[in-house]
């Protein structure tokens, strides 16, 4: 039995080998002819097995081809990234070198200004020292003069006092002499009176009664005379005392008048000296002011020359940087329009004294989404960008490259993000510009234009989620919004003033990415609540350089900010629209290089695009 089983397995193996050989031959034949050709004499089961094997081989080949294509795509993507990285690294090195040169120039100017200020401070210090020395000399001279005058006045007062004391002493001596004389006279009179009295008493004793009566009368007369003499003496004494008082009062008045005259003379002298000093100081100030004005003009001229040299140097660097871009531009005329084509699908259009720039929005979306499919339907090109979650973003463009509309499809629903179909047909500008009356702003300026570096996330969200400041007559297309300042100014905006670009550059250093975080978080929050929101990223430059260069530069700056928002912070790329305005809307009115004019502004434009239409339809 085992022997027969052995032969059975050997025959089966041979049959299987023959069957496989036959299948390989059939598959080779089918591969050559492009269809299955079944050898005659095979059963249906063998034919089905051959078909399955052929399908497996074709599937394997397709898988290998797809794998090879994906490898090639990944390699191309790596090469592109490597080239972009090297290019960005070169640009960053150039920007770094320019920043170093600018910093070196700024430090040199700062050092020169410091030296100039130090020289001015030393000169002013020396002048103040000289003024102080002169003032101290004049003060010393005035002090010496005043001291001499005081000494003279003191000497005069001493002499006056000495004279007064001498007169007083003489008057006292005269008074003492008169007093002594009067005293001696009184003594003599008293002695005579006593003698007369004694004689009278003696006579009275010896005389008769008649003589006594006469003596009594004489005594009475004598007392009267004595009383009259005493009264006369008291009167003379009072008169002398009053005379001395009058003399003393006259002396004091003369002394006070002399002191007052001296003070008046001294005040007048001081006033004249002060006026002379102030006049001399004013003359020195006028002279110094004239010298300072000459020095200031010379320094200003030197500073202006250095500034012009820096401007020319920066213009030269910009010319070197933008030289390749200018060389690649191609100018053509279509009717009354002048169109300048740039190599990266940007187009500058001049018409009716207005100039605009338009770029290919699909380039930025291709940067974010890799699964891209393109299809032409009539005169329109449909470009589909597929997300991993099944969302499909469709951008419809015309044959001239103009974006006509952008759609979002998800879960059977289709929503129109914006419509850009011309309303009256024609070119780029005559059907885009909307002339509206000026805005009557009813809110404060710091709420109308929010400075991102000073505002909180709540203020930024309030500005980017607010509705129009005035009622809108209708919904507008995208080109009308981008081309009409009177229409855009109906919406509040956020200035990214903390994001600054180097002169002549649209590259943004990695160190500035973090400054966009608050704005990015606000944008993502608003889009999460309403996936159909559209935000306009506006680029601006300063007034240095040509209009075409500034327009292209500002558009590239707006695109740089949009790329950072979508690449670094995952803001949906389809909700952003970019536009450059060059030097049309300067923040600081100056023709010189100004960093604050090289800025980017974010503005919500959904209400301008929608008007009174919610623009949402259901495809189910």
The boundaries of the domain holding residue 14 are 1-41
Q: Are 428 and 470 in contact (CB under 8 A)?
A: no
Q: Within a domain: residue 147?
A: yes
Whether residue 338 sits in one domain with residue 310: no
Q: Within a domain: residue 306?
A: yes
Q: What's the domain count of the chain? A: 3
Q: What's the mean pLDDT in 192-218?
A: 73
Q: What's the mean pLDDT in 237-246?
A: 84
Q: Residue 348 and residue 364: Cα distance in Å, rounded?
A: 18
Q: What is the pLDDT of residue 511?
A: 82
Long-range contacts of 105-110 (CB under 8 A, 24+ apart): 105/310, 109/306
Lowest mean pLDDT of 400-414, 442-456, 501-515, name the range.
501-515
Tell me the per-residue pLDDT of 519-575, one tens digit each, with 9 for 90 and over.
Answer: 999 999 999 999 999 999 999 888 887 888 889 889 999 999 999 999 899 999 999
pLDDT classification of 617: cutoffs 50, 70, 90: very low
User: Which residues are paired to 617 by β-bridges?
Assistant: 414
Q: What's the mean pLDDT in 418-443?
A: 73
Whether residue 340 sits in one domain with residue 306: no
Boundary-marking domain end, from 294, 326, 358: 326
Q: Within a domain: residue 219?
A: yes
Q: What is the pLDDT of residue 117?
A: 78
Whether residue 551 sits in one domain with residue 484: yes
Q: Residue 21 and residue 370: Cα distance in Å, rounded?
A: 44
Tell me the per-residue pLDDT of 332-368, one tens digit each, with 9 for 90 and over.
Answer: 888 888 888 888 788 888 887 788 888 888 888 888 8
Whether residue 259 sits in one domain with residue 209: yes
Whether residue 359 sits in one domain with residue 294: no
Res 32 pLDDT > 90: no
Write out the two tokens for 585.
């809307």
Residue reference for tokens 């269809």: 35
pLDDT classification of 329: cutoffs 50, 70, 90: confident
Q: Are 423 and 404 in contact (CB under 8 A)?
A: no
Q: What is the pLDDT of residue 344?
A: 79
Q: Are 569 and 516 in contact (CB under 8 A)?
A: yes
Q: What is the pLDDT of residue 208?
A: 61
pTM for this predicted structure: 0.54
Q: Within a domain: residue 599?
A: yes
Q: Residue 195 and residue 193: Cα distance in Å, rounded?
A: 5
Whether residue 345 sits in one domain with residue 200: no
Provide the 3-class DSSP secondary structure of residue 407.
Answer: strand
Kindly report the backbone phi and psi dihedral angles of residue 533, in degrees, each rounded to the nearest multiple of 5, phi listed first.
Answer: -70, 145
Q: What is the pLDDT of residue 314?
A: 67
Write out the two tokens for 294.
């000459």
pLDDT classification of 608: cutoffs 50, 70, 90: very high
The pLDDT > 70 percentage for the chain reads: 86
Which CATH number do you get for residue 481?
3.30.1330.60
Q: How does the average pLDDT of the chain come out, rounded?
A: 79
Whether residue 609 sits in one domain with residue 476: yes
Whether residue 475 sits in one domain with residue 578: yes
Whether residue 609 sits in one domain with residue 469: yes
Q: What is the pLDDT of residue 442?
A: 84
pLDDT classification of 125: cutoffs 50, 70, 90: confident
Strand order in the sheet with 347-351: 330-334, 337-341, 347-351, 354-358
Q: Could you give the angle at the alpha carbon of 339 between the alpha carbons of 503 and 535, nearest 5°?
A: 60
Within a 10 A sphere around the Cβ of 197, how many other Cβ atoms? 15
User: Which residues are paired to 351 by β-bridges?
Assistant: 354
Res 180 pLDDT > 60: yes
pLDDT classification of 423: cutoffs 50, 70, 90: low
Whether residue 145 sits in one domain with residue 31: no
Lowest mean pLDDT of 230-244, 311-325, 451-465, name the range.
311-325
Q: Within a domain: residue 492?
A: yes
Q: What's the mean pLDDT in 320-328?
A: 74
Q: Within a domain: residue 59?
A: no
Half-sphere exposure of 52 (CA within 13 A, CB side): 7
Half-sphere exposure of 506 (CA within 13 A, CB side): 23
- Contacts of residue 138, defined as CB under 8 A and 6 or more positions apart, other chains included, come to 273, 277
Whether residue 282 sits in one domain with residue 247: yes
Q: Residue 613 and residue 619: Cα distance in Å, rounded?
A: 17
- How does DSSP classify residue 542? -
Which of 98, 202, 114 minimizes the C-alpha distance to 501?
98
373: enclosing H helix or E strand: strand 371-377
Strand 493-495 to 403-410 pairing = unpaired
Q: What's the mean pLDDT in 292-314?
A: 76
Boundary-marking domain end, from 326, 350, 377: 326
Whether residue 579 sits in one domain with residue 430: yes
**DSSP conformation letters of 269-305:** HHHHHHHHHHHHHHHHHHHHHHHHHHHHHHHHHHHHH
Torsion sign across C-alpha atoms 196, 198, 201, 206: negative
Q: Residue 141 and residue 135: Cα distance in Å, rounded?
A: 10
Res 23 pLDDT > 50: no
Q: What's the mean pLDDT in 236-243?
A: 84
Q: Within a domain: residue 266?
A: yes
Q: Within a domain: residue 396?
A: no
**Mean pLDDT: which of 37-41, 127-131, 481-485 is highest?**
481-485
């Amino acid at each position: 039995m085992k022997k027969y089983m052995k032969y059975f397995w050997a025959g089966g193996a041979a049959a299987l080998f023959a069957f496989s050989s036959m299948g390989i031959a059939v598959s080779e034949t089918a591969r050559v002819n492009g269809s299955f050709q079944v050898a005659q004499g095979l059963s249906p089961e063998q034919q089905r097995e051959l078909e399955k094997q052929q399908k497996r081989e074709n599937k394997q080949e397709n898988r290998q081809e797809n794998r090879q294509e994906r490898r090639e795509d990944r390699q191309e993507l790596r090469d592109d990234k490597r080239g972009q990285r090297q290019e960005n690294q070169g640009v960053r090195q150039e920007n770094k070198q320019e920043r170093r040169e600018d910093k070196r120039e700024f430090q040199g100017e700062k050092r020169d200004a410091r030296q100039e200020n130090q020289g001015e401070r030393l000169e002013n210090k020396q002048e103040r020292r000289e003024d102080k020395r002169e003032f101290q000399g004049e003060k010393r001279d005035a002090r010496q003069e005043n001291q001499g005058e005081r000494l003279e006045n003191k000497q005069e007062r001493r002499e006056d006092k000495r004279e007064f004391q001498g007169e007083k002493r003489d008057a006292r001596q005269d008074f003492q002499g008169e007093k002594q004389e009067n005293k001696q006279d009184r003594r003599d009179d008293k002695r005579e009176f006593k003698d007369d009295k004694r004689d009278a008493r003696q006579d009275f004793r010896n005389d008769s009664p008649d003589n006594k009566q006469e003596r009594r009368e004489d005594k009475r007369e004598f007392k009267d005379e004595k009383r009259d003499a005493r009264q006369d003496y008291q009167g003379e004494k009072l008169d002398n005392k009053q005379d001395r008082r009058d003399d003393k009062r006259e002396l004091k008045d003369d002394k006070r008048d002399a002191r007052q005259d001296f003070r008046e003379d001294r005040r007048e002298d001081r006033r004249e000296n002060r006026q002379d000093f102030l006049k001399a100081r004013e003359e020195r100030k006028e002279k110094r002011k004239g010298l300072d004005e000459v020095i200031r003009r010379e320094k200003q001229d030197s500073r202006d020359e250095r500034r012009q040299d820096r401007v020319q140097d920066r213009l030269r660097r910009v010319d070197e940087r933008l030289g390749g871009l200018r060389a690649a531009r191609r100018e053509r005329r279509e009717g009354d329009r002048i169109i300048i084509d740039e190599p990266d699908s940007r187009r500058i259009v001049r018409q009716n004294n207005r100039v605009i720039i338009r770029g290919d929005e699909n380039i930025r979306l291709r940067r974010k989404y890799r699964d891209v499919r393109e299809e032409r339907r009539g005169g329109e090109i449909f470009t589909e960008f597929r997300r991993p979650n099944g969302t499909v973003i469709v951008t419809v463009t015309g044959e001239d490259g103009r974006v006509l509309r952008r759609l979002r499809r998800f879960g059977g629903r289709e929503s129109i993000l914006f419509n850009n179909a011309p309303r009256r047909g024609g070119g780029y500008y005559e059907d885009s510009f909307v002339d509206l009356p000026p805005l009557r702003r009813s809110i404060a300026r710091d709420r109308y234009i929010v400075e991102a570096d000073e505002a909180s996330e709540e203020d930024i969200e309030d500005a980017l989620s607010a509705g129009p400041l005035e009622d809108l007559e209708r919904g507008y297309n995208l080109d009308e919004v981008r081309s009409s300042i009177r229409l855009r100014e109906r919406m509040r905006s956020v200035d990214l003033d903390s994001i600054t670009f180097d002169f002549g550059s649209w590259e943004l250093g990695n160190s500035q990415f973090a400054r966009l975080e608050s704005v990015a978080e606000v944008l993502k929050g608003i889009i999460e609540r309403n996936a159909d929101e559209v935000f306009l990223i506006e680029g601006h430059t300063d007034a240095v350089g040509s209009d075409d260069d500034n327009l292209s530069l500002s558009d590239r700056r707006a695109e740089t900010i949009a790329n950072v928002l979508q690449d670094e912070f995952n803001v949906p790329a389809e909700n952003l629209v970019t536009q450059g305005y060059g030097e049309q809307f300067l923040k600081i009115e100056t023709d010189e290089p100004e960093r604050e004019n090289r800025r980017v502004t974010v503005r919500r434009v959904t209400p301008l695009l929608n008007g009174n239409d919610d623009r949402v339809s259901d495809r189910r």
